[in-house]
Chain A
Amino acid sequence: MSKTDTMSGVTSTRDEGGAVPPGITTFNTELLRIAGIAVALLAVTWVYSGDPFILNIMAQTFLFAAVSLSWNIIGGFGGQFSLGHGVFFAIGAYTTANLYINWQISPWLALIPAAILAALVAVAVSWPTFRLRGPFFSIATIALNEVAFVLANYFGSITGGPRGLTIPFKAGLENMIFTSRFHSVLLMLGFLVVCLIVCAWVFRSRLGYYLQALHLDEDAARATGIRVLQVKLVGMAISAALTGIGGALFAMYLRFIDPPTLLSLPDIGVKFALIALIGGVGTLYGPLAGALLIVPLESQLRAGLSASVPGANLIVLGAILILFALFMKKGIVGLVMQLWDRFGRKSQ
């Protein structure tokens, strides 16, 4: 793995637009890296396997990393800044919970209809909304999220309405319910690895290049013969399917879901995008970096700062986000790249 390889793994953002990257990283190289990341994360999990407090944070970190990676396929690579991924997340959660509660279908099997349904809904609602660009698209996706919230609350026969759905505790691998947080973390880590592989594959495939092309300049992409709408829809479908699976895992982890938990904008829909932004939007590993930073930070602030002043944890978080935006404009991955440019290259 040469140093130039490391570079190009993350540089195909708009800055270098037309420039030919110094070396092409292949899907296989990415697989090696993913394997390395997986081993490293597994090692960390192992170290903390006796501390459920940390394990719970890790489970949520890996889950949000995975969903944020999924978001990044269409939101980052494709530049379609969706803030409505909570809808697909909720579809996955409700589908799995319903199949499990009412028909005793194993959540493992239920992942398939959850993913398909999320993808179908995503294509159906994105077909028209993809006519919109930039912030207009984002706002339309927020609107979709709000509509979904009202409907989930109103049509209680599927969602349990405001009462939500409670999944009874029946531990067992086949039920995807674990008595040990450690096993849950392994599940989330597994899902994270799947998402990384899918993202790497998309990133290094024709689809990924098309997505990045239309992100850079939609009109130019169309002019070169890319079927823009079709590419966007495929990207969205993959992204939503993985997000739906994420929602399913979330539901089985919490064993209680209701509309505010699944469709809260700041806690779910916006968070996926924020995590990607923190890490480096449109880069392959950015969302992972972002989740590793923000989810534990948020949890620690909540655990450590809420005792005396109400909202103190969110005051600090807000301030950190602002400072972060100001001083790490390209996200964590962008900063790493900058440092690499400044110091790493000279030593080459």
Chain B
Amino acid sequence: MMISRRIFLGTVLAGTMLASAPSWAQETFKVGVINPFSGPTALYGDEVTRGYELAADAVNKEGGILGKQVELIRGNATAPQEGIAAVEQLAGRDNVDVFIGTYLSAVAQAASEAALNYNKLYWDTNALAANLTERGLPNFVRSGPFSQSFADRSAEFITELVAKELGKQPSELKVWIEHEESIYGTSIADRQKEALEKAGVQVVGVGAHNFKAIDLTDSILRARDAKPDVYLNTGYVPDGNLLLRTARDQGFKPAAMVFVGTGDTKETLEAMGEAGVEGLYVVSYPRPDISEEFGPGSSAYLEAYKAKYNAEPLAPQSMAAFVGFKMMAEAVNAAESAEPEAVRAALAEFDKPESSYETGFGVKYNENAQNTRAFPTVVQWQSGKPVTIYPVAAAGENKTVKAAQ
């Protein structure tokens, strides 16, 4: 029973070609979008997809992909088995040319493997789990930052900027690492601990919590007892807000609070009020308010978003998705094919410095097809606005750090 994958793929492809022969007369370049469109992360799945939609508009204006206009087809997946079903639907039925996604790492894991069965490219812009690129799947590319980028950026921010703000050497700095306990928070927190300790920072404790928890007073009290200078938390919106509230109620005021991943949206502002978030640092995807020198085109992106959706972007994830989609279009065009082998081979051509894209990303893929020039940025809440402050180039003029509470 040892059929090689290649032979199998041939037969499956032949089979699907026969099954859906008419759709080969397509005029468009079809991109299958795998994201959650129901369940607790539906908002972010939709927000990421908006980034793709805007990118598809932009790409279409410039001639599309492989000379065809781009068409997006959504596939809803909130769990790995649904990821497989979505790939079967989009590849088997709609005959998409490439896949793009994914807000959920577990879905990316299963869906990209299913896409390999069809020999389709799986381009990831937003999933964070490190092992997605480490497993060496031949059809997988990640153009955005991942858990390690978030962890390293937060560690670097603490040792460089926060330490300076507090007038301390990194070795005098005490940090409490808090994280939500699913793969997202855990993988970032593990790496943060490693990076901070390597820089000589004292990690005074690590706490895990469930993002659905009804009460997080215990987590806050444990952290408070450890008397950290910096409270570093990676989580989702509901638990992040509850932690902030509880910290306020319990009089826990570390010299600096750094949130990773969420906390820079109006969801947090509404929950805490202007005074409640003042001074809070958030390590997240680059926001459209970064300087034009750092992220050329970021303000045009913001205008395009507002024009299309009649609202401000809810979360910065969409701009990273926008840039990731453009990178995919460039890679496919450079390869002159949507075949995974061709695209992966073409990745080597890309070598753009940072600040080449709206998010301030550059592009340079490593041997696992991970973009090594995509990083999150850091904002600080200042008078009810999230202001990009780090890296300094992203901050632009007149944007300086305000002392924390």
Contacts and interface: CB of A to CB of B under 8 A. Distances in A.
A199 to B, nearest CB: 24
A164 B183 contact: yes
B213 to A, nearest CB: 11
Pairs of residues from A and B, 10 with the lowest C-beta to C-beta distance, nearest first? A306-B76, A173-B1, A179-B8, A53-B92, A53-B88, A310-B42, A306-B37, A311-B38, A162-B183, A50-B15
A56 B81 CA distance: 9
Which among A55, A173, A174, A302 has the highest number of chain B CB atoms within 10 Å?
Answer: A302
Contact of B38 (A53, A179, A260, A306): A306
B187 interface: yes
A134 interface: no
B18 to A, nearest CB: 7
Interface of B: 1-3, 5, 8-9, 12, 15-16, 18-19, 37-39, 42-43, 45-46, 74-76, 79-82, 84-86, 88-89, 91-93, 106, 109-110, 113, 117, 129, 131, 135, 181-183, 186-187
B117 A179 contact: yes
A295 to B, nearest CB: 10
Contact of A180 (B2, B12, B86, B129): B12
A314 interface: yes
Contacts of A314: 38
B76 A302 contact: yes
Contacts of A303: 75-76, 85-86, 89, 93
12 contacts: A52-B91, A56-B85, A172-B1, A180-B8, A181-B88, A254-B81, A254-B110, A302-B86, A303-B76, A306-B38, A310-B43, A312-B38
B88 A166 contact: no
Contacts of A329: none
A317 to B, nearest CB: 10
A46 to B, nearest CB: 13
Interface in A67-117: none
A341 interface: no
A302 B106 contact: no
Interface string A157-181: 0000111101001011110000111
Nearest to B182: A162
Given A52-B16, A56-B85, A302-B85, 18 more contacts: A50-B18, A51-B19, A52-B91, A153-B182, A162-B183, A163-B131, A164-B183, A171-B1, A172-B1, A173-B1, A254-B81, A260-B79, A261-B80, A264-B79, A303-B93, A306-B76, A307-B37, A311-B42
Given A260-B106, A306-B76, A52 B38 contact: no
A36 B26 CA distance: 43
A256 B81 CA distance: 9
A260 B182 contact: yes
B12 A52 contact: yes
Q: Of A53, A173, A181, A256, which is in contact with the most chain B CB atoms at under 10 Å from its CB?
A: A53
B73 to A, nearest CB: 8
Given A51-B92, A56-B84, A306-B37, A169 B113 contact: yes
Contact of A166 (B5, B45, B109, B181): B109
Contacts of B19: 50-51
A13 interface: no
Contacts of B12: 52, 180
Contacts of B106: 164, 256, 258, 260-261
A255 interface: yes
A258 B104 CA distance: 13
Nearest to B37: A306
Nearest to B38: A311
A283 interface: no
B129 A163 contact: yes
A250 to B, nearest CB: 8
B110 A255 contact: yes
Contacts of A169: 113
Interface in A290-327: 299, 302-303, 306-307, 310-314
B74 A306 contact: yes
A162 B181 CA distance: 7
Contacts of B42: 310-311
A57 interface: yes
B183 to A, nearest CB: 4
Contacts of B81: 60, 254, 261
B105 to A, nearest CB: 9
Nearest to B79: A261
B30 to A, nearest CB: 14
A217 interface: no
Contact of A53 (B93, B109, B113): B93
Contacts of B89: 53, 303
A267 interface: yes
Given A50-B16, A166-B131, A267-B79, A254 B186 contact: no
Contacts of B39: 311
A104 B19 CA distance: 38
A239 to B, nearest CB: 22
Contact of B183 (A51, A258, A307): A258
Interface string A53-69: 10111001000000000
A171 B12 CA distance: 15
B110 to A, nearest CB: 5
A307 B38 contact: no
Given A260-B106, A261-B79, A162 B186 contact: yes
Contacts of B187: 162-163
A320 to B, nearest CB: 15
B85 A307 contact: no
B40 to A, nearest CB: 10
Nearest to A174: B1
Contacts of A56: 84-85, 88
Nearest to A255: B113
Given A255-B113, A310-B46, A171 B183 contact: no
Contacts of B131: 163, 166
Nearest to B45: A310
Contacts of A310: 37-38, 42-43, 45-46
A267 B39 CA distance: 12
B109 A163 contact: no
Interface in A18-75: 50-53, 55-57, 60
A103 B129 CA distance: 26
A307 B46 CA distance: 10
A313 B38 contact: yes
